[in-house]
Amino acid sequence: MRVTVSRRAHFNAAHRLYRKDWSFEKNNEIFGKCNNPNYHGHNYELIASVTGSIDPETGYVIDVKILKDIIKMEVEDAFDHKNLNLDVPEFENLNPTAENIVVVIYNKIKAKLDKNLDLDVTLYETPRNFVRYSGN
Amino acid sequence: MRVTVSRRAHFNAAHRLYRKDWSFEKNNEIFGKCNNPNYHGHNYELIASVTGSIDPETGYVIDVKILKDIIKMEVEDAFDHKNLNLDVPEFENLNPTAENIVVVIYNKIKAKLDKNLDLDVTLYETPRNFVRYSGN
Amino acid sequence: MRVTVSRRAHFNAAHRLYRKDWSFEKNNEIFGKCNNPNYHGHNYELIASVTGSIDPETGYVIDVKILKDIIKMEVEDAFDHKNLNLDVPEFENLNPTAENIVVVIYNKIKAKLDKNLDLDVTLYETPRNFVRYSGN
Amino acid sequence: MRVTVSRRAHFNAAHRLYRKDWSFEKNNEIFGKCNNPNYHGHNYELIASVTGSIDPETGYVIDVKILKDIIKMEVEDAFDHKNLNLDVPEFENLNPTAENIVVVIYNKIKAKLDKNLDLDVTLYETPRNFVRYSGN
Amino acid sequence: MRVTVSRRAHFNAAHRLYRKDWSFEKNNEIFGKCNNPNYHGHNYELIASVTGSIDPETGYVIDVKILKDIIKMEVEDAFDHKNLNLDVPEFENLNPTAENIVVVIYNKIKAKLDKNLDLDVTLYETPRNFVRYSGN
Amino acid sequence: MRVTVSRRAHFNAAHRLYRKDWSFEKNNEIFGKCNNPNYHGHNYELIASVTGSIDPETGYVIDVKILKDIIKMEVEDAFDHKNLNLDVPEFENLNPTAENIVVVIYNKIKAKLDKNLDLDVTLYETPRNFVRYSGN
C-alpha cells in the first residue's frame, strides 16, 4: 500500500540561459530573450512528491514537516533570492534551464531521503511552463 | 485507448492526529500541534481520477455525473462538516492522517466502480500538502 | 500617491457555529450542519491589505516582512491548529462566523499598524465563500 | 535521464453532445443538458506534457517555444472561438466529449513531435472536470 | 460595521457577439472571431458580493446558503448550458458582451436581496478577462 | 452605469532593491536578501482594470483587445525578460519595489487610455505579495 505525499514550496531567483563556450550570437539564436546578459527571473514553484508505504504506527509515509525542512535546507536556503548562474555552485558550468534545475533539485532532496522512498519533483518556472523529473 | 476522467470535489472537516494507546506526551512528540485535543480542521479538496476505455457509443469513459454522484454519496455526505475522529466510523480506530484518509476514500469509491475501471485519488489537506493513492 | 500592499497568509482551525443561549434545535435551524457539536474545520486563507503613501526613501508603503510578522503573531500563532470556540479567547462568547472572524482579525492587525495606514482584510473560509472588512 | 516538459494553453469553444443517429429523446436521456440543440460552451484549458532526454548541449528536452507553436497551430488556431460540432472537421462524425477531444488533440500534437518524445495531454473542460490521454 | 460576504458560482454557456441590425462585415470588424455565426463558449465564473451590517444575533450579514440559492435560481438555472443569444430572453435584443451580462446578473440578484444590502458582481469570462458592476 | 473591465497579463524580470546613494550595509539592513548584488527575479502577474460607461452600440466599455495591446506595448515589451534596474529607463534612479513598479505601470497605461476611463492596476510580485494603485 504505497501512498504519495506531496509538499509545495517556492523560491525566487534570477537566471540567464546561455553557454559560456558559445558566441553571444549563437546563444541568442538558441535561447532568445532568455539570453539577456543582465538576467531575468522567476517565482519558481516546486512540488516534491515522496512515495512509500504508510507506517502503520503513525499513519505517515513521511512526516510532512521533515519533507518541508529538507526542501527548506536543500532548495529554499540554497536558491531563494539568488542568481542561479552566479550564486549557486551547481550551475557554475551547467545551463540553468528548468530541466537542469529540476534534476539538480531532485538529486539534492533524494540524497536526504530514506532509501526506500521514491521521489518525483515538479518545478514551475511560470504558471504556464513546468517540468518534472522522477530519477530515470 | 485508455483515457482518464477526473472530477474535483471538496469537504470540510475537523480532525486530530493521535493514537488512543499512546500517552499525550508521545502523541505531542510525534504529531505536534496536530494533536490539539480540541481538534483543528481543513477544507479537503479531492480529485477522483477514473481510467478506462472510451465507450464508442457515447464517447464517455464514465458519465461524469455518475462519478460526481458516487463522490457525493461516499465522500461528501459521509465526511462533510464532520469530525473525522468522532463522527466517521472508519476512523474510530484509525489515525486520520491524510495518507489514511486517501486510502479510505479510494476504497469507498473503488467499491462503487465497474471492475474494469482503474481509480486514482488525490487529496489536498491544504493547498501545500496533498497525498495520492492508486490502490497498490 | 497612496498604494495598497497585500500579503496572503493562512491558518487551519476547527469551529462550530452556535449560540450557547439557544436550544440545539434553534441552532440547527439557523446554522444547519455548521452546528455539528463535534466541530468541523477549514483552511482559512487571509489577505491583509495595507494602504498608505510610498516612503520616498525606501520605495515601500510598509516593509512586507513587517506585515508578515504582524500577521504571524496576531493571527497565525493565535488561530492556527486551534479550535476557535474553545482555544481562542475572542470567540468565547462570540459566534465564529466568517463575518465575526474577519472583524476580530481586522482589529488585531489594525492595532499594530501605524495610525496613518488603512487596513482591509479578506478572509476565505473556503475557496467559494469569503468575507471582507475595512473598518467601517 | 528523462524529464517531462509541460506547457499550458487554452481555447474557448461551443459544443453539443449528441449522436446524429439517435433520437432527440435518447440523446437527452444520455447527455442531459449537454444535448442543448443551441449549444453551450467552455473555456478549455490544455496541458501538453512532452517527455524525453535532456539535450546535453542546450539543456532542453524541447524548446518550449516550439511546443507552444505546435499547440498554437494544431489546437488554438483550429479550435479557438469555434463551434466544435460545426466548424472542426474532426468532430463532424465524432461526439465532442472531453474524452474524444483529448484523443484528437493528442494525435494532432503527437504527429508534429520527434518520434523519440512521449506525449501526455490533459484537457480541462471546466476547473472541476478534466481528462488525460497518453496514447495507449 | 459593514462586512462584505462573497459567494463564487459558475455556469457554462455559448454566445456570439453581434448586432442583428449590422451587416456581417461590420460585426466582423468590431467583434472579430467573437462574431462566429456558429457561436463559441465559456465557463463563466461569478462572484456575488453582498455588503451589509452583521446581525448581532446570528453573526451573519446574510446566510451564505440564501445567497447560494439566489444565485442558483437567478443565474445558474437561467444561464447554465444555454446559448445566451437564443435561450436567454434578456439577450434577445442585447449583445451578450461580458459587460452586458454582468449588468443583467446584477439586476437579477439585486431584486432578490433585502433593500439594505449592497451588491457587487464580478464575472470572469475567462481567467484572463473579467468585468465588475456594483450598480452605479 | 459604469462597469470595470479587467485584463490579466504577465512578465518575468530580474531586479535588486537598493539605493545607489546608500552603503551596502545600509541597503542590507533595509532590503535584506532583496539587496543581492547579483539580482533575483519574479514572475510578475498584472491586472489592469478599466472603468467606464458601456457603449450602447457595442456593449463594450473598452474592447479588451485594445487593452491587451496597450499592456503588451507598454508593459510586456518594455519589462519582460529584462533586468528592471539595468534595462528599464524608468528605474535607472528609482528603486524597483513593487510599489514603485505599479505606479510606473499605471502611468504608462493611463497615458494611452481615453480621458474618461479610470484605471486601477494590481501587480503580483509573488502569489503571496501584491500591490495596487489607482492614481491617487
Structure pTM? 0.96
Q: What confidence score (pLDDT) does residue D111 get?
A: 98
- Residue-wise pLDDT for F75-128, tens only, equals 999 999 999 999 999 999 999 999 999 999 999 999 999 999 999 999 999 999
Res. F1: pLDDT tops 90? no
Residue (of A135, A133, A127) closest to A45 by Cα position: A127
Q: Can you tell me the mean pLDDT for A94-104?
A: 98
Of E31, E97, E129, the CB nearest to F7: E129
CA-to-CA separations, A2 to A68, B109, C85, F80, in angstroms, rounded: 20, 18, 37, 43
Q: What share of chain C is helix, strand, coil (3-state, %, to 5)?
A: 35, 30, 35
Distance of residue B60 Cα from the nearest chain D Cα, in angstroms: 6
Active site residue B34: yes
- Residues from chain C contacting residue B41 (CB–CB below 8 Å): 12-15, 39-42
Q: What confidence score (pLDDT) does residue A136 get?
A: 83
Q: What confidence score (pLDDT) does residue A76 get?
A: 98
Q: What confidence score (pLDDT) does residue E100 get?
A: 98
Res. E42: pLDDT tops 90? yes
Q: Can you tell me the mean pLDDT for B67-74?
A: 98
Q: Can you tell me the mean pLDDT for B54-81?
A: 98
Alpha-carbon gap, residue E114 to E104, rounded angstroms: 18
Q: What confidence score (pLDDT) does residue B106 get?
A: 98
Q: What confidence score (pLDDT) does residue E1 get?
A: 87
Going by pLDDT thresholds of 50, 70 and 90, the confidence category of residue D136 is: confident
- Residues from chain D contacting residue A96 (CB–CB below 8 Å): 59
Of C3, C9, C57, the CB nearest to F131: C3
Res. D127: pLDDT tops 90? yes
Q: Can you tell me the mean pLDDT for F17-40?
A: 97
Q: Could you say which residues of chain C have pLDDT below 70? A: none
Q: Can you tell me the mean pLDDT for B104-125?
A: 98
CB-based contact B36 C87, cutoff 8 Å = yes
Active site residue A25: no
Alpha-carbon gap, residue B98 to B83, rounded angstroms: 14
Chains in touch with D (3+ beta-carbon pairs under 8 Å) read: A, B, E
Ranges of H-type helices in chain E = 24-31, 64-71, 77-79, 84-87, 98-110
Distance of residue B132 Cα from the nearest chain C Cα, in angstroms: 19
Q: What confidence score (pLDDT) does residue C125 get?
A: 98
Counting Cα atoms < 13 Å in the Cβ hemisphere of B84 gives: 31
- Residues from chain E contacting residue F71 (CB–CB below 8 Å): none
Alpha-carbon gap, residue F103 to C54, rounded angstroms: 10
Q: Can you tell me the mean pLDDT for B49-75?
A: 98
What residues have CB less than 8 Å from A71, skipping those under 6 apart?
Answer: A7, A9, A46, A48, A109
Q: What confidence score (pLDDT) does residue F136 get?
A: 83
CB-based contact A58 B94, cutoff 8 Å = no
Domain B2-12+40-133: homologous superfamily in CATH: 6-pyruvoyl tetrahydropterin synthase/QueD (3.30.479.10)
- Residue E125, helix vs strand vs coil: coil
Cell of B20: 488512543
- Residue-wise pLDDT for D5-43, tens only, equals 999 999 999 999 999 999 999 999 999 999 999 999 999
Q: What confidence score (pLDDT) does residue A21 get?
A: 95
- Residues from chain E contacting residue D81 (CB–CB below 8 Å): 33-34, 36, 40
Indicate the residue type of C100. N
- Residue-wise pLDDT for A28-73, tens only, equals 999 999 999 999 999 999 999 999 999 999 999 999 999 999 999 9
Chosen from A54, A65, A76, A134 to mutate, greatest number of chain B CBs within 10 A: A54
Q: Can you tell me the mean pLDDT for B123-134?
A: 98
Distance of residue A60 Cα from the nearest chain B Cα, in angstroms: 6
Catalytic machinery residues of E: 34, 81, 125
Tell me what ipTM this predicted complex has: 0.95
Chains in touch with E (3+ beta-carbon pairs under 8 Å) read: C, D, F
Average pLDDT, chain F: 97
Q: What confidence score (pLDDT) does residue A1 get?
A: 87
Res. E136: pLDDT tops 90? no
Residue (of E18, E33, E24, E32) closest to E97 by Cα position: E18
Residue (of D8, D13, D124) closest to D67 by Cα position: D8
Q: Can you tell me the mean pLDDT for D70-98?
A: 98
Residue extents of the structural domains in chain A:
2-12+40-133
